[in-house]
Structure 1
Amino acid sequence: MAPLRVSILGTGLSLQAFHYPLITALPGKFVLHSVLERTPRGKAQEVAGNDIKVVTTIDEVVNDKDVDVVVISTPNNTHFPYAKAALNAGKHVMVEKPVTPTVEEAEELAALAKSKGLVFCVYQNRRWDADFLTLQKLIKDGKLGPIHEFNSRFDRYRPLPAGHVAAGWKELPGNHNEAIYNLGSHIIDQAITLFGVPDRVFNRNIDQRGIGLDEAFEMTLYYPPSAGSKTPLTVNLGASILSSVPEQLRYLVKGANGSYLKFGLDPQEPFLRGGKTVADEGYGIEPESAWGSVSTFADGKWATEKLKTENGWYPAIYESLYDAVEAKDPSRLAVKPEQAIWTMKIIELGNQSSKEGRIIDVKK
């Protein structure tokens, strides 16, 4: 099969640090056809080169017979209309997380794609974070024993500077851009990938900086005991924008036999943001100084050792997309629409929980 011709909607960080580098890393499978830049500022050509085709409207994309795949990396409130237009035009679609602002919209898009035999994928790249791949392997190996507590965080420290002015749509209320959508969609997806759909949800959304936007959330997912355990599994997820510590916690996972402790975020995004490519030496490799540690208790003593981090590989999500399109089999997607819908359901239940101040049962 010839390489799939891709049109990317949007010229923000995702173009530079995610989609353009990953597409160009797989030249036998994808080729960049065009970039949608609604307000021409030269950003598309700055990132993708002067020869790239630049368009300014969604109609130019969906009406172009040469476009096979539409990648949507525009503001969250545009995901649904843009994805619907692309699917109706017979294009395969990859959409940034959160898939849509609402569960109802996500379900409509999934049904539309299925009815047309098209591939509809959500860009949950952090399933291929180096530390998440490491954690998956560690849990599967059983070294920690049955897991009873899982803590996953995406914290930052960004106090408001004097005279602060909102920096674009991500800091403006009304765009479904609260932390539970933008960061929660990553770590909720990871939790569901590891443990499935929870039984109950409790959550608090927090406007930490007082700008009218909930830039933090603290969520607890409740599960029955893991296999081989009598202790219910508790999953704590959170994101803070005012986490005033020099080193941010990423994971703290506790099992019957030991624990895993990890600080810091995956290295792939800063690597690509710095202008390097997937082909450059060091991509996806975490330095030893950033490795997490495993602690186990035996014979009355604690033993702690560093655990080498697996190599991260964001191109995997595009490889999965290509395989599904080539085989004409959407079930081959690594990130399936049904999974993205469940992430949105947990987000909506989390919003309800925060509003009502109570634990919400999950209807499966």
Structure 2
Amino acid sequence: MKTQTLSVGLVGYGMAGRSLHAPLIQAAPGLELAVVVSRHAERVQADHPEVEVLSKAAQLFARRDIDLVVIATPNDTHFPLAKAALTAGRHVVIDKPFSVTASEARLLKSQADGAGRLLSVFHNRRWDSDFLSLKALLEEGTLGRVVALESRFDRFRPAVTDRWRDHHKPGGGIWYDLGPHLLDQVRQLFGMPKAVLLELATSREGAEVDDDFLALLEYDRLRVTLQASSLVAEPTPRFRVHGTRGSFVKYGVDPQEAWLKAGQAPTSGWGVDASPGTLTLDTGEGETLALTSREAPMVAGDYPAFYAGIAAALLEGAPPPVTSESALEVMTLLETGLDSYRQGRWVKLKDGSSALRRLHSR
């Protein structure tokens, strides 16, 4: 594209739109947040007085001056809104998950490909500090051959809210909330698994939907465990990874989301995690073990990289930071997990599926 500044329209100004998408769009060179679709105009204008507010998404899609539409609305609206935006000729970013079914995601990908439009999904936790640090350790072979990885995302939220995520509707529940984050990270590290086993639970008083999950992913000579819960008060390891040369353990969650919610804008020194992980490695020789523990080197988190990558893709023809292909693979894993839970058994991924391709960075 010839223009050096792309106009962005944001649909939805809830937690994701207000705290994540709006500030990161504003921080990206080459992007300008021009319009927000929200029923709460006063909230948007208090934060961004220069931004126009519309009440309906259709008004935004009809605008010829909007290059990119970002959809940060409840999960079950992702498909119809993205479809309408693509039909209007816009490039589209969707907050995770891609949609509520893999079939809907495939339809959107096909529509975008046919129209020559960019379609990406906001898998922002590819740029978490702890994940980037673990990825670097594995690429360097620091842990040797990895034999087990445990990834947890626990919270203590005993009260059931009136928010859509806590209601029994498509895309509600913790599996569709936190599952995409953990699945996408593991897929980035190891590619697609051979099979998935999922257990869901509804643990809180008055809960309508799943608020706890345990997922096992089958790989060759590697055990992957993913867990998330709404009733864990005691801190648990965010990552616990074991290999033939040692282990990496990390407590604490990447700080970027909390900073953005608090109104901090990305500046120099952004993304530095104050809670580094611990490396325990065998430094002995031969059959003599000598285990030593030290602070793990940490890579700074970089949420701004997503929208910087979107701008580069549209303005310079660079590969998008998250391709629709990789986001579709996450949808495949989400649905395979649900199939496993409903059937009460391991479910294999189909051989020869495009989902079995290993995609590293995109």
Using structure 2 for the length normalisation, give the TM-score: 0.92
Q: CA separation in 2, counterparts of 1:200 and 1:175?
A: 24
Q: Is the 8 A contact 1:249 1:262 kept in 2?
A: yes
Counterpart residue identity of residue 221, structure 1: L
Structure 1 residue 223 corresponds to structure 2 residue 224: no
* 1:68 match: 67
* 1:293 match: 278
How many matched pairs?
344
Question: Cα RMSD (Å) of the superposition?
Answer: 1.3
* Per-residue deviation, 1:286: 1.3
Q: Is the 8 A contact 1:131 1:266 kept in 2?
A: yes
Structure 1 residue 35 corresponds to structure 2 residue 22: no
Does the residue aligned with 1:74 lie in a helix, a strand or coil?
coil
Counterpart residue identity of residue 308, structure 1: P
* 2:46 match: 46
* Per-residue deviation, 1:15: 2.3
1:133-282 equivalence runs, <5 A: 133-160=132-159, 166-210=161-205, 211-224=207-220, 232-245=221-234, 247-279=235-267, 282=269
* Per-residue deviation, 1:328: 4.4
Does the residue aligned with 1:42 lie in a helix, a strand or coil?
helix
Counterpart residue identity of residue 223, structure 1: Y
Q: CA separation in 1, counterparts of 2:72 and 2:273?
A: 27
Note the residue ranges of structure 2 that are not aligned, 5 or more in a row: 354-362
The worse-fitting range, judged by mean Cα deviation, of 39-48 and 234-243 is 39-48
Note the residue ranges of structure 1 that are not aligned, 5 or more in a row: 225-231
Counterpart residue identity of residue 202, structure 1: L
Counterpart residue identity of residue 315, structure 1: P
Q: Is the 8 A contact 2:149 2:239 kept in 1?
A: yes
Q: Is the 8 A contact 2:129 2:302 kept in 1?
A: yes
The worse-fitting range, judged by mean Cα deviation, of 302-311 and 91-100 is 302-311
Runs of 4 or more consecutive aligned structure 1 residues displaced over 4 Å after TM superposition: none
Counterpart residue identity of residue 166, structure 2: E
* 1:229 match: none
Using structure 1 for the length normalisation, give the TM-score: 0.92
Q: Is the 8 A contact 1:16 1:272 kept in 2?
A: no
Q: CA separation in 1, counterparts of 2:168 and 2:10?
A: 25
* Per-residue deviation, 1:215: 1.2
* 2:18 match: 16
Q: Is the 8 A contact 2:174 2:211 kept in 1?
A: yes
Q: CA separation in 1, counterparts of 2:266 and 2:233?
A: 32
* 2:345 match: 358
* 2:113 match: 114
Does the residue aligned with 2:63 lie in a helix, a strand or coil?
coil
* 1:124 match: 123
* 2:334 match: 347
Does the residue aligned with 1:158 lie in a helix, a strand or coil?
coil
* Per-residue deviation, 1:323: 1.7
1:92-103 equivalence runs, <5 A: 92-103=91-102
1:78-93 equivalence runs, <5 A: 78-93=77-92
* Per-residue deviation, 1:51: 2.6
Deviations 1:239-287 (A, max 9, x none): 1111131x232000111110100011001111111111102x5421112
Q: Is the 8 A contact 1:156 1:248 kept in 2?
A: no
Q: CA separation in 2, counterparts of 1:10 and 1:196?
A: 32
Which residue, 301, 309, 324 being the options, matches 2:298?
309
* Per-residue deviation, 1:148: 1.0
The worse-fitting range, judged by mean Cα deviation, of 17-26 and 141-150 is 17-26
* Per-residue deviation, 1:41: 5.0
Q: Is the 8 A contact 1:86 1:93 kept in 2?
A: yes
Q: Is the 8 A contact 2:4 2:315 kept in 1?
A: no
Structure 1 residue 333 corresponds to structure 2 residue 328: no
